[in-house]
Amino acid sequence: MQKIVTAGIICHQDKFLIAQRKHGKPQEYFWEFPGGKLEEGETLEQCLHRELWEEFHLDVNVGRFFMESAFDYETGSILLKVFWASCHSSDISWMDSHERVKWITPRELDKYEFAPADRPVAAALKTAF
């Protein structure tokens, strides 16, 4: 069964947020666009908002849908639903969920190795700017 996962292209002052997956977790050290698994009864937008608050204490405004990307990992299949999002502050207090987080420009995308499901998103972002 395919899990639905949300992700955000979180924009703040011409940069957007990426997060590095934690050591010991699936796809460790790969970079990703932050988000998380859809819970029962949530809309995609509610899921993204909740996940970003839980993981980063980041209050975002979820915007329009950007794209989706599917990938079959060893741990299971996911369907990544990606939305534009904005926030008023770049201040982040992330818990234990990631190794690092960074605010980057679109030109910096090639410097990071993204998780397989996030790679099509990174490629599409390069052409969007």
Residue 59 token pair: 């209050």
Amino acid 94: pLDDT: 66
Q: What is the pLDDT along the chain (129 residues), one digit of tens a residue?
A: 899 999 999 999 889 999 999 988 878 899 999 999 999 999 999 999 999 999 998 999 999 999 999 999 988 899 999 999 999 877 787 667 789 999 999 999 999 999 999 999 999 998 887
Q: 3-128 architecture in CATH?
A: Alpha-Beta Complex (3.90)
Residue 65 token pair: 């849908």
DSSP code, position 26: T
The domains of the chain are located at 3-128
Amino acid 95: pLDDT: 65
Please state, in angstroms and rounded to a whole number, the distance separating the CA atoms of residues 128 and 116: 19
Amino acid at position 46, single letter: Q
Tell me the torsion sign for CA atoms 52, 94, 25, 123: positive
